[in-house]
């Protein structure tokens, strides 16, 4: 078991009590995109983030446990709840900075792998409610404890062509349940200062956005990609970003209806028309809009560890957050 501990504080007034036995999480990764999943005990559907046992994960607590030096470390955290209205499970998804995210193609595969291995869902076809809608995951275990999972990602909605944050590329907006700017061109991906492009991408999108910089593939894949994720920073892969990049390349005639994409953390596959015709996406006209239906994402997923987080980490995060708020108020 891995234990993440923080310095011991007295619990401030209003902080929900946490059991000294610890807070159980499962750490998993999908093509290098790593997540912490809370599913034992499986939390019921509830208003806000309150679980049946009184545990509450605030933004400060999510930041603390996702911190790679002082916490466990992850690109995001997923709380799994009981599903209803046709869903087997419900996904509550947080970025590493504590902000809420709508959808993650890699995260939902991690969620299902954890749920199957934990005996929560017996079926290898799992329906998951997300903030972007109901998604179906087809799950196939491999011989070494991992799995290959295919996700019905819903439609990709293509937006307008926008001013690219990176010279030598064309850029376009895309929505995969969350917002993206995709910049495609013959670029040296290793030389791109991705962090510096984030502000320009946000201006082009009119708000916080995921940014994908893409070029034609060099190692057998159709596309190579680097990604800057909203609320996280650069990650080794991004499922929704991979779908957005593939959709823009498909719309601009640069790829077919099955697209392999090399993320730094591994290869993912996107298929259009998985549930029927792919539709008629917008072509080379940057101002035209279009929707690609039947988008499917496929890739590997594996478990890394069971994690028992010391509750002091969460209590300390709340105290630090309160002290920071006081300091900001006094400074203002």
Residue range(s) occupied by CATH 3.10.310.10 in the chain: 23-152+302-331, 153-298
Q: With pLDDT > 90 as the criterion, what percentage of the chain qualifies?
A: 70
Using pLDDT thresholds of 50, 70 and 90, give the confidence band for residue 155: very high
- Residue for token digits 């929505």? 175
Q: Per the structure block, which two tokens stand in for 250?
A: 């498909």
Whether 25 contacts 38, CB under 8 Å: yes
Q: How is domain 153-298 classified at the CATH fold level?
A: Diaminopimelate Epimerase; Chain A, domain 1 (3.10.310)
User: What is the rounded CA–CA span in Å between residue 323 and residue 73?
Assistant: 23
Using pLDDT thresholds of 50, 70 and 90, give the confidence band for residue 276: low
pLDDT at 4: 41
Give, in order, the Cα–Cα distances in Å from 112 to each of 35, 52, 297. Answer: 12, 22, 14
pLDDT at 54: 38
Q: Is a pLDDT exceeding 80 seen at residue 38?
A: yes
Residues making up the chain, counted from first to last: 332
pLDDT at 123: 76
pLDDT at 62: 94
pLDDT tens column, 237-266? 999 999 999 999 999 999 999 999 999 999
User: What is the rounded CA–CA span in Å between residue 245 and residue 71?
Assistant: 32
Using pLDDT thresholds of 50, 70 and 90, give the confidence band for residue 170: very high
Q: Which of 39-43, 133-137, 309-313, 323-327 has the lowest mean pLDDT?
A: 323-327
Question: Which CATH number applies to 23-152+302-331?
Answer: 3.10.310.10
Using pLDDT thresholds of 50, 70 and 90, give the confidence band for residue 39: confident
Using pLDDT thresholds of 50, 70 and 90, give the confidence band for residue 57: confident
Whether 240 contacts 178, CB under 8 Å: yes
Q: Per the structure block, which two tokens stand in for 303?
A: 């478990």
User: What is the rounded CA–CA span in Å between residue 72 and residue 327?
Assistant: 27
Query: Which residue from 19, 93, 91, 99 is spatially nearest to 55, judged by alpha carbons?
Result: 19
Which phi and psi angles does 311 have, rounded to 5°?
Answer: -55, -25
Other C-beta atoms within 10 Å of 268: how many?
Answer: 31
Using pLDDT thresholds of 50, 70 and 90, give the confidence band for residue 131: very high
Report the SS3 class of residue 202.
Answer: helix
Give the residue-averaged pLDDT of 139-157: 93
Q: Which of 9-18, 27-36, 75-84, 277-286 has the lowest mean pLDDT?
A: 9-18
């Amino acid at each position: 078991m891995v234990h993440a501990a923080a310095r011991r504080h007295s619990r401030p007034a209003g902080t929900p009590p946490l059991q000294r036995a610890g807070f159980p999480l499962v750490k998993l990764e999908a093509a290098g995109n790593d997540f912490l999943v809370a599913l034992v005990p499986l939390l019921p559907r509830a208003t806000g983030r309150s679980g049946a046992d009184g545990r509450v994960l605030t933004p400060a607590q999510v930041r603390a446990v996702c911190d790679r030096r002082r916490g466990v470390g992850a690109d995001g955290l997923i709380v799994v709840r009981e599903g209803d209205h046709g869903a087997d499970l419900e996904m509550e998804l947080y970025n590493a900075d504590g902000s809420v995210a709508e959808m993650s193609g890699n995260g939902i595969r991690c969620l299902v792998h954890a749920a199957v291995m934990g005996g929560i869902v017996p079926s290898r076809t799992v329906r998951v409610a997300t903030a972007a809608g109901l998604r179906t995951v087809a799950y196939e275990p491999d011989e070494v404890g991992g799995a290959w999972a295919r996700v019905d990602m819903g439609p990709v909605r293509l937006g307008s062509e926008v001013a690219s944050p990176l010279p030598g590329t064309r850029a376009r907006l895309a929505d995969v349940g969350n917002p993206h700017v995709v910049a495609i061109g013959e670029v040296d991906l290793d030389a791109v200062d991705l962090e510096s492009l984030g502000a320009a991408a946000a201006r082009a999108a009119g708000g916080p956005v995921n940014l994908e910089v893409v070029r034609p593939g060099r190692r057998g894949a159709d596309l190579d990609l680097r990604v800057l994720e909203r609320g996280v920073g650069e990650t080794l892969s991004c499922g929704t970003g991979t779908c957005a990049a593939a959709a823009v390349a498909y719309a601009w005639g640069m790829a077919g209806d099955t697209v392999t994409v090399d993320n730094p953390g591994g290869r993912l596959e996107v298929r259009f028309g998985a549930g029927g015709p792919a539709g008629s996406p917008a072509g080379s006209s940057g101002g035209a809009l279009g929707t690609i239906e039947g988008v499917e994402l496929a890739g590997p997923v594996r478990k890394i560890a069971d994690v028992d987080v010391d509750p002091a980490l969460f209590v300390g995060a709340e105290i630090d957050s309160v002290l920071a708020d006081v300091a900001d108020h006094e400074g203002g």
